[in-house]
């Protein structure tokens, strides 16, 4: 039978008796102090599984008695029929410190005071008592559950502890255990009881007393035409899937939180009827799996399509498979290709038109306004497909629509930049600011589309963010472009070897150590990853590992981008919280990412002094048949560029150093605290996901009661389009249903509304569409 919360607590108690026989003798007992008596209500449940006795009024049948009696039980002079092994001595109302105080130990505890020298303690590693919250949440010595820290959850835990012990540990571990979750355990309604039984028939029966089981059977017979003790789970699952009569409401409840009943999916699989009807399509997991397999094969077929043919095919496939994004299987993350297809359709629309071919200004403006969205859609499509076969299929579709668009845009960019650079009129962005109260966060490889994710997260945390773009130094590699941003003294750097500048005084190559030293010489604090510095001055720090992950993993970078965005945002909030007036975010270059790798072009080795993936430093007088530009640090040095989105090295999925909008147009963010009263740890939306017309929002940092709503105008309650608003007092996730499908495609805002009326809203969403 599946392990329960009670099983895990019993295991913790048994583990606490472990000892090293080479160091000490076997303990005679396990002392369990509980000053707050928080465990008393469930001690009988635990006592059925262990040799356990309790301090209290004398009642041998209940294994309870005063201290002297407990001492006799431990010594074996009083036999109450305990199982073999050292007994657990539960001490409600007694703290560990009270028992250990030799001079002030209460008289009533004196008979057992000496047991502490021959026993083990069951207490927190900090020597305090195990509270219910502490044991349930402790990662190393407890159960590792995620409990919210608000007062409502603490109160609900005291009420629902007995029911929580019956929960399967694998289910509880996946939940945010908050007041709502705990109160549902207490106020269990017939529909939830039915779903819990169907989720784990044998476990539910074993955990239920006869009265509780009889009540479920009677209710099911009366309301659902089912006798659980006779008809069994398969019959129940078939009724659930067909959704007829009152079973429609049971399905609705299941569909609201299917992750709480993962066993139901397997029951539905076994119960699928041979003949299906329109009104129960989507109820059976194997049908969704078959549709995913079909879509996987169809996406693989994009390899033979032209870009225009691929765009048309994506739209046709979405008409067929898009509805699956609103099923329970989508909510259970069992329809990843249906979600990838949503992004592929967006990519199809964005790549219909190439970047505006003209001067550099029009190209840059078009990319900053529209073009970056194509890059974002490609990354999100790939990220939706997490396993190998799915990613291979999605990659085929991305390549079919995206490669040609990238190629055309890169060549247009090279045509626009070449004459400017050769005429020495190409102007990269300025070095980082040294204004007092300003700290610069450098992020290696923060491409424009990824910076938009950072910007959204910051805006969702009520921080003021202004965004702009500039051009990267050429070539777009860290060795060249990062020193161009470093706030060193004017003239401190000159041209150096390979693609690095050098210290103008010593001639030493500008390594990271040299750059940091030059910045310090210019009055700039250089902060480590966790340092916050003196906010009255100016500083430079670095965050994120986007570029390292891209070079190491290629297309697997997409799996880590949201994590990287979170790290960058948290660092910005940390610095603002420390008192900095402004945090500027800068980067050295973007990058090109193309699944399957870029096409390789040859560059004669004899012509170069150093060669990278998309650029090379040429020897003096070398002649090559690829585009060239002057080096940022020495205009007389020529840099060869890989044409379009080709590469001088083979099998490169991720690379930079060349000239394209993706590599050259870099973001600059300027962030201040704005209206955020709490920065680090404050409320923040972390994810918004659409399942058809159901909006699943996830958020963190909520400690007081808030209302979750979906509005056309964030500050206007009357603009709500949610069927019902939800109230919560903890972090987690909430689902909101848009009742009227006329709102599909409209712009709206998920909002958190505090009791005093303050509204927290992330950037707008489009109803029914994922970004």
pLDDT per residue over 186-221, tens digit each?
Answer: 756 889 889 999 999 998 888 877 767 887 887 888
Secondary element (H or E) of residue 22 = none
Per cent of the chain over pLDDT 90 is: 66
Give the integer Cα–Cα distance in Å for 704 and 760: 13
Give the integer Cα–Cα distance in Å for 333 and 151: 32
Q: What is the mean pLDDT of residues 408-413?
A: 96
Nearest to 690 by CA among 741, 765, 752, 740: 765
Token pair 């010594």: residue: 75
pLDDT at 257: 86
Give the integer Cα–Cα distance in Å for 273 and 270: 9
Nearest to 644 by CA among 632, 628, 658, 629: 658
Q: Could you tell me which residues are beta bridge partners of residue 592?
A: 655
Contact residues for 363 (Cβ-Cβ < 8 A; gap 6+): 355, 356, 357, 409, 412, 413, 416, 661
Strands annotated E in 612-664: 615-618, 628-631, 634-641, 654-655
Task: Extract the tokens encoding 56.
Answer: 């209290």
Residue 291, pLDDT above cutoff 80: yes
Give the integer Cα–Cα distance in Å for 626 and 639: 10
pLDDT at 720: 85
pLDDT at 354: 94
pLDDT at 276: 65
pLDDT at 688: 84
> Which of 49-53, 247-251, 323-327, 686-690 has the least mean pLDDT?
686-690
Contact residues for 548 (Cβ-Cβ < 8 A; gap 6+): 444
Task: Kindly write down the DSSP assignment for every residue of 66-129, as one continuous string.
Answer: -HHHHHHHHHTSS---PPSSPPEEEEET--HHHHH-TTT--GGGHHHHGGGGTSEE-S-TTSS-
Q: What is the mean pLDDT of residues 601-605?
A: 94
Residue 435, pLDDT above cutoff 50: yes
> Quick one: how far is CA 245 from the chain centroid?
39
Which of the four pLDDT bands, split at 50, 70 and 90, describes residue 67? very high
In Å, how far are 481, 588, 704 from 759, measured between CA atoms? 41, 36, 13
Please list, residue by residue across 240-270, b when 16 or more beta carbons sit within 10 angstroms of its beta carbon and e when fewer do. Answer: bbbbeeebeebbebbbebbebbebbbebbee
Please check whether residue 463 is in contact with residue 680, taking contact to mean a CB–CB distance below 8 angstroms.
no
pLDDT at 533: 96
Nearest to 392 by CA among 300, 283, 269, 287: 300
Residue 277, pLDDT above cutoff 70: no
Please check whether residue 368 is in contact with residue 341, taking contact to mean a CB–CB distance below 8 angstroms.
no
Residue 717, pLDDT above cutoff 50: yes
pLDDT at 622: 94
Residue 46, pLDDT above cutoff 80: yes
pLDDT at 489: 94
Task: Extract the tokens encoding 603.
Answer: 């560059």
Based on its alpha-carbon atoms, the radius of gyration of the chain, rounded to whole angstroms, reads 32
pLDDT at 730: 59
Nearest to 360 by CA among 665, 655, 629: 665
pLDDT tens for residues 13-31? 999 998 888 878 899 999 9
pLDDT tens for residues 641-683? 999 999 999 999 999 999 999 999 999 999 998 765 443 455 6
pLDDT at 679: 39
Q: What is the mean pLDDT of residues 207-236?
A: 86
Secondary element (H or E) of residue 78 = none
pLDDT at 678: 43
Please check whether residue 440 is in contact with residue 572, taking contact to mean a CB–CB distance below 8 angstroms.
no
> Which of 245-259, 366-380, 505-519, 748-762 has the least mean pLDDT?
748-762
pLDDT at 508: 93
Q: What is the mean pLDDT of residues 421-450?
A: 95
Give the integer Cα–Cα distance in Å for 657 and 310: 30
Which of the four pLDDT bands, split at 50, 70 and 90, describes residue 495? very high
The mean predicted confidence, pLDDT, of the chain is 90
Please list, residue by residue across 625-639, b when 16 or more beta carbons sit within 10 angstroms of its beta carbon and e when fewer do. Answer: ebbbbbbbbeeebbb
Residue 279, pLDDT above cutoff 60: no
In Å, how far are 370, 445, 450, 664 from 589, measured between CA atoms? 19, 5, 12, 6
In eight-state DSSP terms, residue 687 is E
Q: Could you tell me which residues are beta bridge partners of residue 711?
A: 720, 749
Measured in residues, the chain has a length of 771
Q: What is the mean pLDDT of residues 257-269?
A: 91
> Which of 410-414, 686-690, 757-761 has the least mean pLDDT?
757-761
Which of the four pLDDT bands, split at 50, 70 and 90, describes residue 729? low
pLDDT at 683: 65
pLDDT tens for residues 128-151? 899 999 999 998 899 999 888 888
Q: What is the mean pLDDT of residues 105-130?
A: 89
Q: What is the mean pLDDT of residues 707-716?
A: 82
Please check whether residue 216 is in contact with residue 254, taking contact to mean a CB–CB distance below 8 angstroms.
no
């Amino acid at each position: 039978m599946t392990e329960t919360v009670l099983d895990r607590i019993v295991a913790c108690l048994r583990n606490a008796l472990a000892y090293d026989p080479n160091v000490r003798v076997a303990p005679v007992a396990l002392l369990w102090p509980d000053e707050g008596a928080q465990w008393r209500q469930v001690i009988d449940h635990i006592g059925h599984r262990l040799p356990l006795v309790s301090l209290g009024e004398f009642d041998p049948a209940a294994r309870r008695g005063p201290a002297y009696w407990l001492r006799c039980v431990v010594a074996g002079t009083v036999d109450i029929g305990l199982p073999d092994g050292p007994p657990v001595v539960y001490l409600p109302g007694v703290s560990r410190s009270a028992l250990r105080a030799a001079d002030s130990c209460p008289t009533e505890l004196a008979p057992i005071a000496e047991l502490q020298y021959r026993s083990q303690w069951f207490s927190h590693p900090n020597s305090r008592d195990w509270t219910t919250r502490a044991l349930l949440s402790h990662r190393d010595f407890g159960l590792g559950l995620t409990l919210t820290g608000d007062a409502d959850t603490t109160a609900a835990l005291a009420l629902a502890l007995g029911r929580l012990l019956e929960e399967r540990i694998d289910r509880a571990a996946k939940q945010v255990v908050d007041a709502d979750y705990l109160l549902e355990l207490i106020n269990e309604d017939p529909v939830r009881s039915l779903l819990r039984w169907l989720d784990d028939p044998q476990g539910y029966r074993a955990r239920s007393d006869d009265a509780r089981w009889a009540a479920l059977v009677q209710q099911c017979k009366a309301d659902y035409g089912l006798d659980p003790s006779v008809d069994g789970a398969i019959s129940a699952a078939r009724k659930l899937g067909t959704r007829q009569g009152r079973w429609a409401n049971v399905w609705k409840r299941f569909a609201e939180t299917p992750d709480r009943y993962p066993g139901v999916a397997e029951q539905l699989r076994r119960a699928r009827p041979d003949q299906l009807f329109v009104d129960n399509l989507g109820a059976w997991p194997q049908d969704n799996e078959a549709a995913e397999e079909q879509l996987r094969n169809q996406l693989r077929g994009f390899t033979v399509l032209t870009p225009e043919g691929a765009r048309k095919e994506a739209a046709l496939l979405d008409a067929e498979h898009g509805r699956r994004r609103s099923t329970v299987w989508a909510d259970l993350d069992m329809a990843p290709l249906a979600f990838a297809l949503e992004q592929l359709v967006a990519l199809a629309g964005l790549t219909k038109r190439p970047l505006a071919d003209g001067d550099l200004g029009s190209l840059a403006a078009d990319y900053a306004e529209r073009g970056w969205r194509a890059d974002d859609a490609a990354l999100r499509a790939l990220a939706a497909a997490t396993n190998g076969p799915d990613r291979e299929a999605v990659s085929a579709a991305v390549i079919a629509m995206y490669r040609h668009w990238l190629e055309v845009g890169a060549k247009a960019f090279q045509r626009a930049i070449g004459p400017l650079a050769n005429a020495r009129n190409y102007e990269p962005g300025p070095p980082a600011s040294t204004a007092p109260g300003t700290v610069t966060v450098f992020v290696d490889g923060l491409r424009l589309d990824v910076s938009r994710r950072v910007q959204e997260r910051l805006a969702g945390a009520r921080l003021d963010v202004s965004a702009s773009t500039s051009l990267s130094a050429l070539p777009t590699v860290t060795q060249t472009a990062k020193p161009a941003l470093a706030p060193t003294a004017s003239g401190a750097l000159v041209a150096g070897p390979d693609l690095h500048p050098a210290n103008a005084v010593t001639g030493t190559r500008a390594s990271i150590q040299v750059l940091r030293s030059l910045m310090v010489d210019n009055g700039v604090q250089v902060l480590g990853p966790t340092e916050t510095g003196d906010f009255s001055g100016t500083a430079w720090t670095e965050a994120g590992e986007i570029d390292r992950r891209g070079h190491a993993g290629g297309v697997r970078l997409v799996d880590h981008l949201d994590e990287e965005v979170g790290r960058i945002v948290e660092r910005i909030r940390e610095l603002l919280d420390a008192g900095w007036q402004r945090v500027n975010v800068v980067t050295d270059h973007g990058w090109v990412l193309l699944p399957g790798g870029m096409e390789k072009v040859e560059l004669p080795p004899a012509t170069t002094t150093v060669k990278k993936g998309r650029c090379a430093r040429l020897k003096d007088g070398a002649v090559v048949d690829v585009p060239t530009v002057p080096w940022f640090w020495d205009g007389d040095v020529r840099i060869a560029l890989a044409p379009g989105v080709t590469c001088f090295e083979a099998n490169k999925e991720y690379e930079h150093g060349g000239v394209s909008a993706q590599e050259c147009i870099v973001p600059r963010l300027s962030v201040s605290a704005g209206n955020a009263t709490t920065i680090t740890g404050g409320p923040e939306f972390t994810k918004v996901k659409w399942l058809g017309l159901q909006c699943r929002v996830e958020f963190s940092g909520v400690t007081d009661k808030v209302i979750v709503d979906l509005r056309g105008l964030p500050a206007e309650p009357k603009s709500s389009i949610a069927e019902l608003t939800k109230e919560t007092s903890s972090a987690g996730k909430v689902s909101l249903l848009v009742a009227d499908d006329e709102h599909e495609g409209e712009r709206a805002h998920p909002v958190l509304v505090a009791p005093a009326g303050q509204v927290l809203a992330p950037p707008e969403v489009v109803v029914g569409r994922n970004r």
